[in-house]
Chains A and B, each alone.
Chain A
Amino acid sequence: MTGLLSVRDLRVGFGQNPKANEVVKGVSFDLGPGETLGIVGESGSGKSVSALSINRLVDFGGGRITHGSIQLTRSDGTVLDVAKADEKTLLGIRGRDVGMIFQEPMTSLNPVHTVGAQIEEAFRLSKGLTGAQAHKATLDVLGRVRIPDAQSRLGYYPHQLSGGMRQRIMIAMALAASPRVLIADEPTTALDVTVQAQIMALLAELREETGMAMIFITHDIGLVAGIADRIMVMQNGVAVEQGETDGVLDNPQHDYTRHLLRAVPHFTSGKAVRDDGRRAEQQEPIVKVDNLVVRFPVGKAWFKPKGAIHAVDGVSFDLVPGETLAIVGESGCGKSTTARALLGLNSKTRGEIVTEAGRSVRPVQMVFQDPFASLNPRLNVEALLAEPAIANGQRRDDALRERMTFLLDRVGLPQDALTRYPHQFSGGQRQRLCIARALMLNPDVVVLDEAVSALDVSVQAKVLELLVDLQQEFGLAYLFISHDMAVVERIAHRIAVMFAGQIVELGEARAVLSDPQHSYTKRLIAAVPAIERRKQRFAVDMTQVPSLVRPPGFEPSPAQWREAGDDHRVRVEDTP
C-alpha cells in the first residue's frame, strides 16, 4: 500500500452510549501524498467529525471512535493506527504529521499573545527551534503565506489583523511543523469572497510547493471543485459518493450528490438571472433613497473633534413595486447599515429616504440573517406573529387568527405551529416564520438582510423559491442584502455593488454580472467559486479594503458616474 492515510469503516459516536449515538457510520477513504480530498456535506452530515478523527481531536469534543481503523504512514515510514493510539503518541502526530486549520481565525488564535510569538511557539514545539532560529523561521513562513511586511507584523496581536490575515497566520502555524497532511475545516466560510479566493489560491500554491496532502472540508461544492483531486460527499454520517472531482461533478451517481449539485446556486455570470418583473419605463418608485450618509463617531477624547466611521457615504437608489434590488458587497461595506437605516434602526447623518404611503402603516418590513436570534425564544408562534399586528392597534380576534394561519400555510408551515415555540423548529422553518411575521402587516417592501445566508444549501434553495413566489403573489419589492453572488443571481432584477460605504456600480442584474465595469465588481465576480470555472487559476491578490475611519470634517469628493449601457451605471474611479 502506497497511501499516506487509509481510513477503513470509521464509526464515531457521541455521548454516554457512543455505539447507539453514531454520527459517522462507516466511512472509508484513502489519501495519497500530495493529494487533496474534498469532503462535502451539509451541517450535521459528519464531515467535520470524520476529519477530526484523523488527529483524534474528536476525543476532546466528547466523541469516541467505536469501530474501524485509521492507518497513517508517519514521516519515518512506520504505519500507525491512529484509532487505537494513546494520547502520548497522538501528541507527536498532531501538528507534525497532521496539521489543522479551523473555520474561525479569530477564536483559534490566542488574543493575548502576538502572532509572532504564537508562530514561534509552533516552531519550538514541533522542531525545537528557539531564539534567533525560531525568529528567522517565523519570518520565513510568514513570507510563504504571502504576508507583506512580515517583520513588523510579528508584533501584531490577532485583533489588529483582518480576517484574511488571521487565517494566513493560522496557515503559517500549521505549516511550521511541515505536516504531511493538512486538514482544513471550512477555512474560508467566515471570510469574504475575495478574501476566500486569496486563501484558496494560497493553499493551492502551498500544496505545490510543499507537496503536502490536504483534506478540505466544506459545505460549498463549488469551492472544492477548484482545489480537490477527489471529492467525498457525505450525508447523515455516510459517504454516499466518492471519486475523482471531474467524475463526481460532471457525472454524479448518487441522488444526494445530484440534489446537492442542483440545490447549490451555481454562479453563471448573469446567465441565470430572472426574466420576470422588468422595470417598466415610467414606474413610480415605492422607496427612494437619496444621498444617504450614515456615520458613527469614533474616539473618546472629550474636547477634541471626533473622527467618524463613514459606514455609508452618499448612497442613492430607488425601488419600484414587484422588483428585487440586491445590494452586494463584503462585510463592512455598509450594505447592512443601509438596510437598517431604511427601517430607522440606525439614525442617518444626512440624506433622504422617501417611502410612498403603501398598503399599510408600515410599508417596509425586514427579515434578519439569523433565524435563531430574531425570534424571542420565550414566546410561542402565535404571540410572535401577532406582535406586529398588535403593535399597530389590531386586536387579537378571529380575523387576526385567520391571517396568521393563512400566512403560515403560505410559507409552508403546518397549522398546529401556532402553539409551538421557536426551538421546536429547524433553521429553515424559523426563517419561514420570520418571513410570515414580516408579511403580517401586508408590507410593500421587505428588506432581506442576508436572509438565506445562515441556511444549508438545500434549505436555502427552497426558501429562495418561496421568496420568489411570495413576491409574485403579493407584488412585493425586495431589498436583498447578500454577499453571495450565486444567490443574488437567482433573485435579483437589479444589483447595486457596494464598496467601502459607496455604491460603485448599479444596474440591471444581467448587465452587472455579465459585463462588470468597476474594478471592484470585476474582482468580486472573479472571486466567486464556480464549478464551471474550476480549471481557472488565480494569482494571489493582496488588495486590502481601505479604512473607513476618517478624520473630522472629511468629505468624500462627489461621485462621478458614467453610463455603461441601458440601466447600468458605474462610478468613475479615481486614477491613482
Chain B
Amino acid sequence: MGKMMSSLFRHPSGRIGLVIIGLYLLAAILGTLGLTPHDPLKLFAIDRLKAPSQTYWFGTDLLGRDAFSRLMVGIRQSMLIAFASVAIATIAGTIIGLLSAWWGGIWDGIFMRVMDVLLAFPAILLALLIIAIVGPGTMTSVAAIAIVYTPIFARVVRGPALSLKQRDFVDAARTFGSSQGYVLTRHLLLNLVAPLVVQVTLALAWALLTEAGLSFLGLGTQPPTPSLGLMLAESRNLMTHAPWLMIFPAVTIMLGILGFNLTGDALRDILDPRTQRREA
C-alpha cells in the first residue's frame, strides 16, 4: 500500500490528483470540525451578495451567508455521500460479482440480469426514481447512488473472476480441499484488488457528480445544510448579479472530479501488468 502511494506520487497525473484529493479532504475535515472562517449557517443580513473580499473570501449569498464557509461544509457533505455510497456499492457489487462468477449457471443469470436492468437506466434517472419512492435526504442520496453504481462493480468483478476461476491455482486449491471462503478471498478477491482500486477511484468521481446533480435538483441534501449542488441551484437566478456564487461551487465540483479521475488514470497505469515494470 505504501509502495502504491509512492509510485502514485511519482506518476505526473497521479501527483496532481493526490494533491487535489488531499486539499478536499483537508477542507472536509476542517468543515466537520467547525474550523471555518465564519459560521456557514449564520445570516449576515447587512452583507448580502457581497463580492469576494478579505472578510468573505468567496463572497456572500442572497441571505448573507459566507460562501467560503458554506463551500467547506458542502465539500464535506459531498465527500461523505460519495465515500459512503461508493463503499456500499463496492462491497455489494463485489459480493454479487464474485458469487455469480463462482456459482455460475442460473445464479449468474439471475444476478447479472438484475444488474443489467439497473444498468439500463441513466444514473440520475434511477436515483430520481429511488428518491421519488423514499423521499429526499442525505441517507436516501447515499442509498440511491450506491444502488446506481453497484452493477458497475458487479460487472468489473465478475469478468476477471470468471477467468480466475479457470486458472490452475484454483484447481490446485480444490485438490487439497481448500474451503470456498478461502478460495474466494485469497485466490479470487486478492487478484481483483487492482481493478477494484481503479474502479473505486473512478466511481468516487461519478458519485461526486451524481450527488451534486441530485442536490441541484433539490432531491439530495436538504437546506439549510450546505452542499455543492444546492449552492449552484441557489446561484442560478443571480448569475449576472453575483457570478462568484456560481463560479466557486462549479469549479469546486469540477476540480474534485478531475482529482479523482487523474488518480484513477494513474492507478490504472501503475496497476496494469502491461505497463508495470517487473520488480525482480
Of the listed stretches B19-27, B140-148, B171-179, B230-238, name the one at the interface; the rest are far from the partner chain: B171-179
State whether A391 and B191 are in contact (beta carbons under 8 Å apart), knowing that A366-B172, A368-B171 are contacts in the complex: no
Residues 373-386 of A, flagged 1 when their CB comes within 8 A of B and 0 if not, give 11111110001000
Indicate whether A400 reaches chain B with its CB closer than 8 angstroms. Answer: no
A391–B171 contact, CB under 8 A? no
B278 on the interface (CB 8 Å rule)? Answer: yes
Given contacts A378-B190, A379-B186, A391-B182, contact A373 B168 (CB under 8 A): yes
Closest residue on chain A to residue B173 by CB atoms: A387
Q: A378-B190, A387-B178, A391-B182 are in contact. Are A423 and B278 (CB under 8 A)?
A: yes
How far, in whole Å, are A344 and B176 apart by their CA atoms in the complex? 11
Say what secondary structure dominates the interface of chain B. helix
A353-366 Cβ-contact flags toward B at 8 Å (1 or 0) = 00000000110111
Q: Which chain A residue lies CB-closest to B194?
A: A378
Instruction: Please report the C-alpha to C-alpha distance between residue A424 and residue B168 in the assembled complex, in whole angstroms.
Output: 19
Contact status B168-A374, CB under 8 Å: yes
Contacts of A375 in B (CB 8 A): 169
Q: Is A370 an interface residue (CB 8 A)?
A: yes
Complex contact A441–B176 (CB within 8 A): yes
Within 8 A of B (CB), among A438-494: 440-441
Contact call B173/A368, Cβ cutoff below 8 A: no
Report chain B residues within 8 Å CB of A365.
175-176
Q: Which residues of B contact A362 (CB under 8 A)?
A: 175-177
Point out the residue from B175, B176, B191, B278 that lies within 8 Å of A376, measured CB to CB.
B191
Q: What is the bound-complex CA distance between A390 and B186, given in angstroms?
A: 13
- Cβ-based interface call for A345 (8 A): yes
Residues of chain B lying within 8 A (CB to CB) of residue A440: 176
User: Contact between B190 and A370 (Cβ–Cβ < 8 Å)?
Assistant: no
Which chain A residue has the least Cβ–Cβ distance from B280?
A: A424
CB of B177 within 8 A of CB of A392, answer yes
- Whether the Cβ atoms of A374 and B175 lie closer than 8 Å is no
Contacts of B168 in A (CB 8 A): 368-370, 373-374
A374 touches B169 (CB 8 A): yes
Q: Which residues of B contact A390 (CB under 8 A)?
A: 178, 182
Q: Which residues on the A side are within 8 Å of B169 (C-beta)?
A: 373-376
Q: At the interface, yes or no: B187 with Cβ under 8 Å from chain A?
A: yes
* Contacts A376-B186, A376-B190, A376-B191; A391 near B173 (Cβ below 8 A): yes
Partner of B175, one of A366, A370, A373, A377: A366
Minimum CB distance partner of B278 in chain A: A423
Asked if A80 is at the interface of the complex by the 8 Å CB criterion, the answer is no
Q: Which of A345, A373, A391, A392 contacts B167 (CB 8 A)?
A: A373
User: Which residues on the B side are within 8 Å of A437 (C-beta)?
Assistant: 172
Total of A-B residue pairs, C-beta within 8 Å: 69
Find residues 387-432 in chain A having any chain B CB closer than 8 Å to their own CB. Answer: 387-388, 390-392, 423-424
Question: Size of chain B's interface in residues, with CB distance under 8 A?
Answer: 20
Closest chain B residue to A391, Cβ basis: B178
How far apart sit A88 and B191, CA to CA, in the bound complex (Å)? 46
CB distance from B91 to the nearest CB of A (A): 20
CB distance from B187 to the nearest CB of A (A): 5
B172 and A374 within 8 A (CB) = yes
Q: Does A249 contact B (CB under 8 A)?
A: no
A345–B179 alpha-carbon span in the complex (Å): 15
- Shortest distance from the beta carbon of A361 to any chain B beta carbon, whole Å: 8
Residue of B171, B176, B191 touching A387 (CB-CB under 8 A): B176
Which chain B positions have C-beta within 8 A of A150? none
Least CB distance from A39 to B in Å reads: 27
Give the docked Cα–Cα distance between A364 and B176 (Å): 9
Smallest Cβ-Cβ distance to A379: which chain B residue: B186
* Separation of A197 and B172 alpha carbons in the complex (Å): 34
Is A147 at the interface (CB under 8 A from chain B)?
no
Chain B 183-227 against A: per-residue CB contact (8 Å), 1 yes, 0 no? 000110011010000000000000000000000000000000000
Closest residue of chain B to A424, judged by CB?
A: B280
| Interface contact A345-B175, CB-CB below 8 Å | yes
Chain B's nearest CB lies how many Å from the CB of A272? Answer: 31
- Per the bound structure, the CA–CA distance linking A390 and B183 in Å amounts to 12
Q: In the complex, what residues of B have CB within 8 A of residue A369's CB? A: 168
* Residues of chain A contacted by B178 (CB below 8 angstroms): 387-388, 390-391
Residues of B within 8 A of A378 (CB): 190-191, 193
Residues in chain B near residue A424, CB distance under 8 A: 280
**Whole-angstrom distance between the alpha carbons of A387 and B172 in the complex?**
10
Bound CA–CA A145/B186 (angstroms): 51
| Cβ distance B276 to chain A, nearest Cβ, rounded Å | 11
* Neighbouring A residues of B182 by C-beta, 8 Å: 387, 390-391
Find chain A residues with CB under 8 A from B191 CB. Answer: 376-378
Query: A343 an interface residue at 8 Å Cβ cutoff?
Result: yes
B195 → A minimal CB distance (Å): 13
Residues of A within 8 A of B278 (CB): 423
- Nearest CB of chain B from residue A128's CB, rounded to whole Å: 40
**Could you give, for residues 297-337 of chain A, a 1 whenever the CB lies within 8 Å of some chain B CB and a 0 otherwise?**
00000000000000000000000000000000000000000
B residues near A364, Cβ cutoff 8 Å: 175
The reply to whether A391 and B176 contact each other, CB–CB distance below 8 Å, is yes
B176: which A residues are within 8 A, CB to CB? 362, 365, 387-388, 391-392, 440-441
Contacts of A387 in B (CB 8 A): 173, 176, 178, 182, 186
For the complex formed, measure the closest distance between the CB of B94 and the CB atoms of chain A, giving whole angstroms.
Answer: 16
A443 (CB) vs chain B CBs: closest residue:
B176
A427 to chain B, nearest CB (A): 14
Closest to B170 in A: A376
Q: Which residues of B contact A345 (CB under 8 A)?
A: 171, 174-175
B273's closest neighbor in chain A, by CB?
A: A377
| CB-defined contacts of A361 to chain B, threshold 8 Å | 177
Residues of chain A within 8 A of B175, CB atoms compared: 343-345, 362, 364-366
Quick one: closest A residue to B167, CB to CB?
Answer: A373
- In chain B, what residue has the closest Cβ to A369? B168
With a 10 A CB-CB cut-off, give which of A377, A388, A391 has the most chain B CB atoms.
Answer: A391
Which residues of chain B have C-beta atoms less than 8 A from A340's C-beta? 171
> Chain B residues near A377 (CB, 8 Å)?
191
CA distance A6 to B179 in the complex (A): 62
Are B187 and A376 within 8 A (Cβ)? yes
A364 to B174, CA, bound (A): 12
Instruction: Please indicate the chain A residues that have their CB under 8 angstroms from the CB of B179 in the complex.
Output: 391
20 A-B pairs, CB-CB below 8 angstroms?
A343-B175, A344-B174, A344-B175, A345-B174, A361-B177, A364-B175, A365-B176, A368-B168, A368-B171, A370-B168, A373-B167, A374-B168, A374-B169, A376-B187, A377-B191, A378-B191, A379-B186, A387-B178, A391-B177, A423-B280
Footprint of B on A, CB under 8 Å? 340, 343-345, 361-362, 364-366, 368-370, 373-379, 383, 387-388, 390-392, 423-424, 434, 437, 440-441
Q: Which 8 pairs show the lowest CB-CB distances between chains A and B?
A: A388-B176, A374-B168, A391-B178, A373-B168, A378-B190, A368-B168, A376-B169, A366-B175
Knowing that A370-B168, A391-B179, A441-B176 are A-B contacts, what are 9 other residue pairs whose CB atoms are under 8 Å apart, sorted by A's residue number? A344-B174, A345-B171, A365-B175, A368-B171, A369-B168, A373-B169, A379-B190, A391-B177, A391-B178
